[in-house]
Chains A and B, each alone.
Chain A
Amino acid sequence: MKVGVVVFPGSNCDRDMYHVLSDVFNLDTQYFWHDKGLPKNIDAVILPGGFSYGDRLRAGVIAAHSPIIKDVQKMAEKGVPVLGVCNGFQILVESGLLPGVLLKNDSLNFMCEWTNLIVENNKTPFTNKLKLHQKIPIPIANGEGKYYADDETLKKLKKKNQIVFRYSDVVNGSANRIAGVCNEDGNVVGMMPHPERAVESEINPVDNKPSSLIFESLLTQMGVKN
């Protein structure tokens, strides 16, 4: 079982994600640089957070044109679990793998704070161990984290159960307080908050168990015993 962490120029949560996958959850984890392809034997792909290409033009938009994205697309079509966190989510949205866009926060500022998520879909590879409407204390850290989609798309998201996480409070002006969505098949998930920053009790001032379940869900999905 192998997990790939895709690294773009300017990714800066790649090492944190790697640490959590490999040291906390004992997964065979490998970095993949953006200008190459992905091998076929990868069982899950993670796009970590950061500032790919310095957020120039718009967060995630340049990285969405990286050569590796074609392979991520192919894997997504095959049903391989794909998770984009923060800038990774922005890249998935910009590459059309997920619906909607991410706009500047209502505060117009970068926001780094602990929030609470509510699980809205516990059928994805990253939420299957979580209870529906379970609360997850988790930090956000972004400047462009306000989820936006037109009314029709929002309706469709709701109907097809594509809203994965909502904030429990109004945080940044996201439509319907959306913090994470998935594709129609449910195997591609994007979320603005950082689960990799919340799974270790040493650095989580609230409760690290709910966030850990995001990764344990992946282990279950991949058939790895925990």
Chain B
Amino acid sequence: MSLESEELSDLKSKIGRDPTSTELQIVAAEWSEHCSYKSSKRHLKMLPMKGPLVINEKGYDSGVLDVGGGYVVTAHIESHNHPSAVEPYGGAATGVGGVVRDILSAGTRPIAIFDGLRFGNIEKDKQARWLFKNAVLGVADYGNCLGIPTIGGEVEFDECYENYALVDVACVGLGKKENLIKNHAKKGDIVVLMGGSTGRDGIGGSQFASDSLESEDRSAVQIPDPFIEKLIIEVILEARNQKLIHAMKDLGGGGLSCAISETADALDIGIEMDVDKVHTRENDMHPDEIMISESQERMLIVTNKTKLKKLQNICDKFRIGCSVIGSVKFDNNVHIKKGKKTFANLSADIVANATLLDLPSKKPAYLETIAQEKKLKSITDYSKIMMKLLASPNIASKIWVYGQYDHEVGIRTVIKPGADASVLRLDNGKFLSVKIDGNPKQCYINPREGAIGCFEEACRNVVCTGAKPIGMLDHLQFGSPKDPEIFWTFLESLKGLTDFANEFKIPCIGGKVSLYNETPSGPIKPTPLIGVLGLIDKKPLISQKITNGDCLVIVGDTKDEMGGSEFFEYIHKFIGGNCPTVDFKESKKNMKSVLDSIKQQILKSAHDCSKGGLAVAVSELCMTNQIGCKVSLNKVPGEKLTDDRILFSESHSRYLLTIDEKNIEKLENILKKNKVKFQIIGKFGGKKIHFANGIKSIVALDVNKAQKTWLTSLKNLVLHS
């Protein structure tokens, strides 16, 4: 865990001398992949980051969107993969803490948390179950204590995460535009470290996260304290209201080293600090340890002497530590002292900007053959297969997870977890719809189309609530970038996301890259995770109860796209086939037609068709409404396909709309006007989930039985196996 030899000579030539040991530690932390994005940065620029609603300010750790009426929404996404794989409870909890502080740094109150969790095969692997259970507990304990609702997310299991965990956490904040912290610093300003004490936990965490997970270095995992974080939130927001903060940054990866050097670099100032002034947990900490400790719940604040007293009063009220550790200088240097002795003195520009790499890439050999399908075993009883899918960990209801998260606190949650996207009410009368989506199975088969699919799926979900997508967060998780084949998949995913973002004019407002996600049996599948924020001006579509005689309408073509489907992977244990692709034109038309229909207030509900295909999407509608449905597969629009493909293909751009029969004509008019492919494919009623092709019955399930299996199988798997 230190600089590589080329980096060391690079540093030496930049500073013209040998670095001190403290300088080496600081630079190693800041030049780690985790902090510097050295492998990815030059490519990330391709994503569109500007838009009419995007507010750009220097030094922000989160994206900012103007949502009107004087209000802004902030959003960010982070992961805590390496720590969570070693210590899932603390890793997941501190993952929540870090992203919450990013939202706080802009001067906005965090109002919702989202989590994307990925583990190995929990049906077979005890370790995966343990990781899953404890990561959920970590998110729950931290978020619940903060009083920030965790209102959405996703959980997925795949053998590529064996002995590993991906824990992604996104956070959304809300504030008044006038209260945004406009990061700035004047000469003579002072630098304050407030929050929890600095200890020996998380030493070298960012380098740890930038290596393959070979040793289980527990000392590199940070220790969570949500109570302190809750107090910090209130201190910061009170200080913000009193306008006491000139600039602010949270301490995350790289600890003080990164916070000091990035603040100095972003504001074009120098910072001189004294490690003796840092309030520490132990007395005998070395300056190096203080500089790279990743102890949690700490914020760096730039203020001035007259405001300091007021800031200290607020900290005293909440009994939060607050130390003046340094001052603002105009030499652009990061100057670290202990008393009078200098331990490091480097240009902030050098520390904060690692030399960017231009890594080679090469199309992986496996992609040449992966689209070819093998001959599959023939299936006689599709009802049995359906029950198996509904009980499978990836498709079963995640109520065991979100039932442990306080998703009501804050009294904003209009659409609760478990639906397509969650919806929050804002203070300007509008509503925010948010969804995060990933699909490593499809991304492995086709990195470009898979990534686009995740993006479109997240869009579909917010569209189903009546929201127009206004911003995107991307979290790109891959194996080692030094492997040209892995790096190629990274670039392909990024290019796909860029094309979709440009076409749909959805700016990327924030993101994160997590590389070196390697397990004992190799790299993880490419796992981009996409978060989409949508805005609803007037009224969200809140699902109404489906009743006898209501119609089921499908929008969008079903294609022969079984690659990465749950049907292929879970039922047939086959990895390969045609990856679903998004036709941008169709996608746009379908999205617009659904939004138009929602605006007319004629729908009872809109549901996205994705994992498990049409069969699972229809079942979900039936189970949540406890009503049967008779679906005619022969009416499903698209090319002529076999029954199993119509049932289980995971083609994108498809929506299931439910509607009272009396409104069907109005809906048909809207859909025809938008020139989309659609059909009325079923009618609700009775107690059976029924799929037929003409007179041939294909699937017949009892709704109550299906619902019970779907709701309880994940819990049973975690608690009783």
Chain A contact residues, CB within 8 Å of chain B = 9-10, 12-13, 15-16, 19-20, 33, 49-51, 53-56, 109-113, 139, 141, 143, 194, 196-197, 200, 202-203, 205
- Assess A110 versus B144: contact at CB under 8 Å? Given A12-B230, A54-B225, A202-B414: yes
Residue B592 is within 8 A (CB to CB) of chain A in the complex: no
Distance A15 CA – B110 CA, assembled complex (angstroms)? 14
Distance A134 CA – B538 CA, assembled complex (angstroms)? 34
Residue B38 is within 8 A (CB to CB) of chain A in the complex: no
B residues 382-430 in Cβ contact with A at 8 Å: 402-414, 416, 425
Residue B599 is within 8 A (CB to CB) of chain A in the complex: no
Distance A15 CA – B141 CA, assembled complex (angstroms)? 20
B71 CB, nearest partner CB in chain A, Å: 16
Q: Is there an interface contact between B227 and A196, defined as CB atoms closer than 8 Å?
A: no
B411: which of A109, A110, A200, A205 is its contact (CB, 8 Å)?
A200
A203: which of B141, B146, B231, B413 is its contact (CB, 8 Å)?
B413
Q: Is there an interface contact between B406 and A10, defined as CB atoms closer than 8 Å?
A: no
- Assess A109 versus B404: contact at CB under 8 Å? Given A9-B319, A141-B144: yes
Residue of B nearest to A12 (CB): B147
Q: Is there an interface contact between B413 and A54, defined as CB atoms closer than 8 Å?
A: no
Distance A205 CA – B227 CA, assembled complex (angstroms)? 31
Q: Is there an interface contact between B411 and A10, defined as CB atoms closer than 8 Å?
A: no
Residue B3 is within 8 A (CB to CB) of chain A in the complex: no
Chain B contact residues, CB within 8 Å of chain A = 140-141, 144-147, 225-227, 230-231, 317-319, 402-414, 416, 425, 542
Q: Is there an interface contact between A203 and B411, defined as CB atoms closer than 8 Å?
A: yes
Collect the chain B residues with CB atoms within 8 Å of residue A12's CB: 145-147, 230, 409
- List 14 A-B residue pairs with CB atoms under 8 Å apart, sorted by A's residue number: A12-B147, A16-B410, A20-B411, A33-B317, A49-B409, A51-B227, A54-B226, A54-B230, A55-B145, A110-B140, A197-B408, A203-B413, A203-B425, A205-B416
CB-CB nearest 5 A-B residue pairs: A12-B147, A54-B227, A51-B145, A141-B406, A16-B411
Interface centre among A56, A197, A203 (most CB of B within 10 A): A203
Collect the chain B residues with CB atoms within 8 Å of residue A112's CB: 402-408
Distance A141 CA – B319 CA, assembled complex (angstroms)? 27
Residue of A nearest to B406 (CB): A141
- Assess A53 versus B227: contact at CB under 8 Å? Given A19-B411, A112-B408: yes
Collect the chain B residues with CB atoms within 8 Å of residue A113's CB: 403
Residue of B nearest to A15 (CB): B410
Interface centre among A9, A20, A112 (most CB of B within 10 A): A112
Residue of A nearest to B233 (CB): A12
Q: Is there an interface contact between A56 and B227, defined as CB atoms closer than 8 Å?
A: yes
A199 CB, nearest partner CB in chain B, Å: 9
Collect the chain B residues with CB atoms within 8 Å of residue A13's CB: 147, 409
A51: which of B230, B404, B408, B411 is its contact (CB, 8 Å)?
B230
Q: Is there an interface contact between B406 and A110, defined as CB atoms closer than 8 Å?
A: yes
B108 CB, nearest partner CB in chain A, Å: 15
Q: Is there an interface contact between A194 and B140, defined as CB atoms closer than 8 Å?
A: no
Q: A112-B407, A141-B409, A197-B411 are in contact. List 13 more A-B contacts (CB 8 A).
A: A9-B231, A10-B230, A12-B230, A13-B409, A16-B410, A51-B226, A51-B230, A54-B227, A110-B140, A113-B403, A143-B144, A202-B425, A203-B412
B318: which of A9, A50, A54, A109 is its contact (CB, 8 Å)?
A9
Distance A202 CA – B140 CA, assembled complex (angstroms)? 25
Q: Is there an interface contact between B227 and A10, defined as CB atoms closer than 8 Å?
A: yes
Distance A54 CA – B229 CA, assembled complex (angstroms)? 10
Collect the chain B residues with CB atoms within 8 Å of residue A16's CB: 409-411
Q: Is there an interface contact between A54 and B404, defined as CB atoms closer than 8 Å?
A: no
Distance A141 CA – B414 CA, assembled complex (angstroms)? 16
Distance A16 CA – B412 CA, assembled complex (angstroms)? 9
B542 CB, nearest partner CB in chain A, Å: 8
Distance A109 CA – B403 CA, assembled complex (angstroms)? 9
B408: which of A53, A55, A194 is its contact (CB, 8 Å)?
A194
Distance A203 CA – B415 CA, assembled complex (angstroms)? 8
Residue of A nearest to B543 (CB): A205
Collect the chain B residues with CB atoms within 8 Å of residue A141's CB: 144, 406, 408-409
Collect the chain B residues with CB atoms within 8 Å of residue A139's CB: 408
Distance A219 CA – B410 CA, assembled complex (angstroms)? 23
Distance A189 CA – B409 CA, assembled complex (angstroms)? 21
Collect the chain B residues with CB atoms within 8 Å of residue A202's CB: 414, 425
Distance A135 CA – B447 CA, assembled complex (angstroms)? 52
Distance A9 CA – B405 CA, assembled complex (angstroms)? 21
Collect the chain A residues with CB atoms within 8 Å of residue B145's CB: 10, 12, 51, 54-55
B465 CB, nearest partner CB in chain A, Å: 14
Interface centre among A50, A51, A113, A143 (most CB of B within 10 A): A51
Q: Is there an interface contact between A10 and B231, defined as CB atoms closer than 8 Å?
A: yes
Distance A205 CA – B406 CA, assembled complex (angstroms)? 16
Distance A10 CA – B227 CA, assembled complex (angstroms)? 6
Interface centre among B141, B144, B406 (most CB of A within 10 A): B406
Distance A17 CA – B444 CA, assembled complex (angstroms)? 48
A110: which of B318, B404, B542 is its contact (CB, 8 Å)?
B404
Distance A10 CA – B233 CA, assembled complex (angstroms)? 10
Distance A110 CA – B402 CA, assembled complex (angstroms)? 10
Distance A12 CA – B226 CA, assembled complex (angstroms)? 12
Distance A12 CA – B229 CA, assembled complex (angstroms)? 12
A84 CB, nearest partner CB in chain B, Å: 17
Residue of A nearest to B431 (CB): A202
B27 CB, nearest partner CB in chain A, Å: 36
Q: Is there an interface contact between A203 and B408, defined as CB atoms closer than 8 Å?
A: yes
Residue of B nearest to A52 (CB): B227
A39 CB, nearest partner CB in chain B, Å: 19
Distance A42 CA – B410 CA, assembled complex (angstroms)? 25
Residue of A nearest to B540 (CB): A202
A154 CB, nearest partner CB in chain B, Å: 28
A126 CB, nearest partner CB in chain B, Å: 19
Collect the chain A residues with CB atoms within 8 Å of residue B317's CB: 33
Distance A203 CA – B144 CA, assembled complex (angstroms)? 19
Distance A110 CA – B150 CA, assembled complex (angstroms)? 13
Residue of B nearest to A55 (CB): B145
Collect the chain A residues with CB atoms within 8 Å of residue B413's CB: 203
Collect the chain B residues with CB atoms within 8 Å of residue A54's CB: 145, 225-227, 230
B147 CB, nearest partner CB in chain A, Å: 2
A224 CB, nearest partner CB in chain B, Å: 22
Collect the chain A residues with CB atoms within 8 Å of residue B404's CB: 109-112
Collect the chain A residues with CB atoms within 8 Å of residue B230's CB: 9-10, 12, 51, 54
Interface centre among B319, B407, B408, B410 (most CB of A within 10 A): B408
A167 CB, nearest partner CB in chain B, Å: 16
Q: Is there an interface contact between A51 and B144, defined as CB atoms closer than 8 Å?
A: yes
B668 CB, nearest partner CB in chain A, Å: 30
Distance A50 CA – B410 CA, assembled complex (angstroms)? 11
Collect the chain B residues with CB atoms within 8 Å of residue A50's CB: 147
Collect the chain A residues with CB atoms within 8 Å of residue B141's CB: 110
Distance A154 CA – B227 CA, assembled complex (angstroms)? 34
Residue of A nearest to B150 (CB): A112
Residue of A nearest to B400 (CB): A109
B539 CB, nearest partner CB in chain A, Å: 10
B234 CB, nearest partner CB in chain A, Å: 9
Collect the chain B residues with CB atoms within 8 Å of residue A143's CB: 144
Collect the chain A residues with CB atoms within 8 Å of residue B146's CB: 12
Collect the chain B residues with CB atoms within 8 Å of residue A51's CB: 144-145, 147, 226-227, 230
Collect the chain A residues with CB atoms within 8 Å of residue B147's CB: 12-13, 50-51
Collect the chain A residues with CB atoms within 8 Å of residue B412's CB: 203
Collect the chain B residues with CB atoms within 8 Å of residue A56's CB: 227
Distance A65 CA – B408 CA, assembled complex (angstroms)? 28
Interface centre among B227, B405, B412 (most CB of A within 10 A): B227
